[in-house]
A and B are shown apart, each in its own frame.
Chain A
Amino acid sequence: MKIAVASGKGGTGKTSISASLLLARPQTLAIDLDVEEPNLSILLGSFKGRVMPVTMPIARIKGSKCISCGKCSEACVYGAIAWLGGGIPVVNESLCRGCGLCPRVCPPEAIYEVDQVVGEIRSGICEGISFLEGRLRVGSVNTVRVIEETVKKAQSFNETDWLMDCPPGTACPVAASLRHADMALLVTEPTPFGRSDLEGMLEMTADMRIPTALVINKTGMGVVSLDDLCRRFNVDVFASYPFSRSAAESGARGESPFKNDAGWAETTRSLWSEIERRFS
């Protein structure tokens, strides 16, 4: 089963709970898809493995072949090719999305593509767990590209059980991650912010028809009820982790509370049983 751990709101504990689930079932393939801020390896333990670049094609114009017709500039919907009515057009590489349209519309075939590095994939082992991570290069905005390449890499491993630690929010990076999931585990907290962002996530998993369950983290930190949302979207709470200062502190040091908090570890094991009972 391919499980996506997502949340809407950031900082609800996606990565802490992902790490705990993985430590409890180390045969599961760990995939960090929060490529803008990948932190799963910090909580799992030392990463050993290799690093591969993720690239994206970027348009280049061969000046000697260009006939200065301006068709490329006219065709590009991203405004990435500037042309002032004469001379050779100029590609703005930070706006180019690598769609491949301009080489197709260029009459003298003066446009070619070169690979630009937009991020990297780390592939290896963390604490005995098979581990993959996508990492966006700082300054690049091609989040979805890095996510998709990381998922492709995961598919090449032919593992049946995945755990994907997803990005926060409810926009395209989350959709790109959830697209590959058999079920979504939404980690929330009983606060007004947690509830509001959870609602967006529940709309999204309902739209995408992904079986969904909730994990409520930091209970006791807030008093906001999520019962009506559970009823409206027909989802159940599979586990509740109480707010504990010691769990927060061990997470902050980069140690999963699964290793040093007996109550936390027990909740994680019963969360696995609930997932299996309901979804396997």
Chain B
Amino acid sequence: MNIREVVIISGKGGTGKTTLTSSLASVAEERKILADADVDAPNLALLLHPGESSRQPFFGMSIAEVYHARCVGCGVCEASCRYDAIHVRDGKAVVDEGFCEGCRVCLHVCPEQCISLKNIERGAIRRGDTALGPLWHARLYPGGENTGLMVALLRKEARKEAEASGASLLITDGPPGIGCPVTSSVTGADFAVIVSEPSRAALSDLRRAAGLCGILAVPFGIVINRWNLSGELTETIKETCENEGWPVLGTIPFEEKIAEAVGAGRIPTKEMGDALPELWHGIQKTGRLKR
């Protein structure tokens, strides 16, 4: 079974990834699975309203734990930790759980052998049914590590269900930025849609997101959202895309009725009008998403 996966990213946050993901999903006729890979600020469920059907805890890497009865506070662990995640306080080594990467250097260097590893629950992965198909979403507990690993697991679950259920399409709402969770969302996808907007900041971020897709060898195209907030900068973005050879998949205007629909927790399918199915067909064609 050949499943095609499209991931929606942006570089800059707040350009409209989630709104676009839900809208595209609402007009895509294929049997599909949805995934929200923005695991530390997930919002797709706020528009898709899934029923709760399963929850699995996410642990990530195990982290260091100090057995205080044996710790002499020598500080060898602190001096060896490259992540600034263990400090001697009041004569005992204390692990900063938010920063420990579980590398085990401290276990190796501790002369008292009083450090071991423990698992901590860092979040949960959930699955729920929605009117548009099953949604895989997750929540990393605030301050957590291992977003990349969590995204990889989430996508694996979504693909597994796609395979088992005969769905032909996986639509993934990606995170902002270009770091771990984005790399983990884009790696191995068939096509990436980069949502931009007419601002100098978004253009700078678009270049970085496009650079990442290039490094990961994932083909991509660009959607310019809220294009009418600056016709001039929209032209600048289009020119940049043309010069770089990046396909512009379409533009979406800033309209209050779209913002109002999202504000009321609704997918703005109707508000986007006929341009929306056209945009989806363009993405399908450029991204070769049809089997």
Binding site for B on A (CB under 8 A): 8-12, 15, 36-37, 39, 42-43, 57, 75, 77-78, 97-101, 104-105, 136, 138-139, 141, 143-144, 148, 167-176, 191-193, 196-197, 200-201, 203-204, 207-208, 221-224, 245, 248-249, 251-254
Per the bound structure, the CA–CA distance linking A147 and B139 in Å amounts to 23
Is there contact, CB below 8 Å, between B101 and A139?
Answer: no
Per the bound structure, the CA–CA distance linking A207 and B141 in Å amounts to 11
Query: Which residues in A have their C-beta under 8 angstroms from that of B178?
Result: 36-37, 136, 138
Is there contact, CB below 8 Å, between B262 and A207?
Answer: no
Per the bound structure, the CA–CA distance linking A245 and B180 in Å amounts to 34
Per the bound structure, the CA–CA distance linking A222 and B262 in Å amounts to 9
Is there contact, CB below 8 Å, between A141 and B43?
Answer: no
Query: Which residues in B have their C-beta under 8 angstroms from that of A167?
Result: 177
Per the bound structure, the CA–CA distance linking A200 and B144 in Å amounts to 11
Is there contact, CB below 8 Å, between A99 and B177?
Answer: no
Is there contact, CB below 8 Å, between B61 and A77?
Answer: yes
Per the bound structure, the CA–CA distance linking A200 and B41 in Å amounts to 8
Is there contact, CB below 8 Å, between A148 and B61?
Answer: no
- What's the count of A-B pairs with C-beta under 8 Å? 186
Determine which of B105, B143, B183, B208 lies in contact with A99 in the assembled complex, contact meaning CB atoms within 8 Å: B105
Per the bound structure, the CA–CA distance linking A75 and B108 in Å amounts to 10
Query: Which residues in A have their C-beta under 8 angstroms from that of B40?
Result: 169-171, 200
Is there contact, CB below 8 Å, between A37 and B142?
Answer: no
Query: Which residues in B have their C-beta under 8 angstroms from that of A37?
Result: 11-13, 176-178, 201, 204-205, 208
Per the bound structure, the CA–CA distance linking A99 and B262 in Å amounts to 44
Q: B124 to nearest A CB, angstroms?
A: 13
Having A252-B229, A252-B233, one finds 7 other A-B pairs with CB under 8 Å, namely A77-B104, A97-B101, A171-B145, A172-B144, A193-B18, A249-B229, A249-B230
Q: B257 to nearest A CB, angstroms?
A: 13
Is there contact, CB below 8 Å, between B41 and A197?
Answer: yes
Per the bound structure, the CA–CA distance linking A103 and B118 in Å amounts to 24
Is there contact, CB below 8 Å, between A98 and B82?
Answer: yes
